Amino acid sequence: MRPIQDAFPLLQTPKKIFITTHHKPDGDAIGSMLGLYHYLVKKGHLVTAVSPGELPDFLMWMPGVDMLYNYEAEPKAALEALTQCDLIFCVDFNDYSRTKHLTQHLAAATQPKILIDHHLFPAPVWDYGMSIPEKSSTCEMVYDFINLSCDNALIDLDTAACLYTGVMTDTGSFRFPITTASVHEMIADLKHKGLDHTRIHEEVYDSWSTSRMRFLGYVLMEKMEIFPKYNAGLIALSKKDMKLFDVRNGDTEGLVNYPLSIANIRFATLITERGDEIKMSFRSKGDFDVSSFAREYFNGGGHFNASGGRTNLSFIDTIAYFKKILSDIHPRLINTI
Ligand code: 5GP
Ligand code: MN
């Protein structure tokens, strides 16, 4: 992969640009995609942004969501944009398979592909890009990309709101160790431009439905298991649990973090039964590497302290398998405390 600066000449004249991100997009995925979208449109390009699937409700306020295509809802229009574009940007993922149904179409596309991402181990399929796991978020990297292009003056309030959202969500509201001085400098710059950060916190964190709040109560009372011996917590949610509270897309966001708020719990797991597969989310505090854990046991990956994966086992078997692994890795967990 060549450095992203080598792609700058391609952006000197107006181009048709296709941007996409990972399936089940989060704040950083949609923030980086839309932040880049607003910037490239301002530069004079014709841009199409495509999410591989539906967005969670808590991101539906974001400037530009009405311009987004959802591949699952409008595959034809999305594919047409992919076929006709001159250039492809991929943000917040580094392996085609993370885009689910778009995977084979991206693999078949012959246009130059540019990666902006902060996950470990990028697949060797991009022509140009930035892949920096030490970065807090892809939104921070889009900000860096705009500055590298000497276009800081093109960051308007829409771009700022999108980029802020991804940095805020990926850093746990600026508390994870990855929140560097540069992150705060970026936010200071966005504030100088007039960013209203309080509104964004309210949109993302204080816009719950009543049933989502009651669901959280149910999950913490009935569905959270704590294993003090292993310094670990587990929340496992079946389809039936989610039906009880009419759980919507995005309503399970953040649940995995709750066990980590308990003293001495260093490793938290959320198991959710979804369609025909089981989705796993892992979070840790400190030195336990959940990215390796997800790769080793659950066909996944991600970051050191936040990762995900999946299994094709049944819901019940997944829980049993997870508990067995937990006892097997116990010494490794203990060593990290
Ligand atoms: P989440 O638990 O929020 O779904 O994901 C946490 C982190 O792990 C995110 O950075 C996400 O991109 C990554 N991740 C989640 N699922 C997978 C997966 O199946 N494979 C890989 N490689 N990364 C994943
Ligand atoms: Mn991210």
- pLDDT, the chain, mean: 96
The percent of residues above 70 in pLDDT, for the chain, comes to 98
Asked whether residue 336 carries a pLDDT value surpassing 90, the answer given is no
DSSP state, 286? Answer: S
* 250-261 b/e (C-beta count within 10 Å ≥ 16 → b): bbbbbbbbbbbe
Nearest CA to ligand 1 atom 10: 302
Q: Which residues pair with 46 in a beta bridge?
A: 16
Distance 26 CA to ligand 2 centre (A): 8
Ligand 1 pocket check for 300: Cβ under 6 Å: yes
| pLDDT tens, residue by residue, 43-75 | 999 999 999 999 999 999 999 999 999 999 999
| pLDDT tens, residue by residue, 115-166 | 999 999 999 999 999 999 999 999 999 999 999 999 999 999 999 999 999 9
- Return d(Cα 311, Cα 318) in angstroms, integer: 7
Ligand 1 pocket check for 122: Cβ under 6 Å: no
| pLDDT tens, residue by residue, 124-133 | 999 999 999 9
Distance 140 CA to ligand 2 centre (A): 9
Region at 233 (left for phi over 0; alpha for psi -120 to 50; beta for the rest):
beta
Count how many residues are written for the chain.
Answer: 337
Distance 108 CA to ligand 1 centre (A): 24
Ligand 1 pocket check for 56: Cβ under 6 Å: no
DSSP state, 45? Answer: -
Using pLDDT thresholds of 50, 70 and 90, give the confidence band for residue 335: low
The number of the ligand nearest the C-alpha atom of 94 reads 1
Ligand 1 pocket check for 20: Cβ under 6 Å: no
- Return d(Cα 125, Cα 9) in angstroms, integer: 20
Nearest CA to ligand 1 atom 14: 308
C-alpha 330: how far from its chain's center?
28
Ligand 1 pocket check for 250: Cβ under 6 Å: no
Asked whether residue 93 carries a pLDDT value surpassing 60, the answer given is yes
The number of the ligand nearest the C-alpha atom of 136 reads 2
Q: Where are the domains of the chain?
A: 2-205, 210-334
What is the position in ligand 1's atom list of the atom closest to the CA of 170? 10
- Return d(Cα 55, Cα 59) in angstroms, integer: 7
Nearest CA to ligand 1 atom 16: 308
**Cα torsion for 225, 226, 227, 233, to the nearest 10°?**
90
Domain 210-334 of CATH type 3.10.310.30: yes
Return the half-sphere exposure (C-beta side, CA atoms, 13 A cut-off) of residue 297.
22
Asked whether residue 104 carries a pLDDT value surpassing 90, the answer given is yes
Give the per-residue pLDDT at 151: 98
CATH number of 2-205: 3.90.1640.10
CB 191 within 8 A of CB 155: no
Give the per-residue pLDDT at 330: 78
| pLDDT tens, residue by residue, 242-263 | 999 989 888 999 999 999 999 9
CB 309 within 8 A of CB 336: no
Give the per-residue pLDDT at 334: 61
| pLDDT tens, residue by residue, 11-44 | 999 999 999 999 999 999 999 999 999 999 999 9
Give the per-residue pLDDT at 275: 83
Using pLDDT thresholds of 50, 70 and 90, give the confidence band for residue 276: confident
Asked whether residue 240 carries a pLDDT value surpassing 60, the answer given is yes
Q: Which of 90, 98, 253 to mutate to test the pocket of ligand 1 (most atoms within 8 A of CB)?
A: 98
The percent of residues above 90 in pLDDT, for the chain, comes to 94
Region 175-193: mean pLDDT is 97
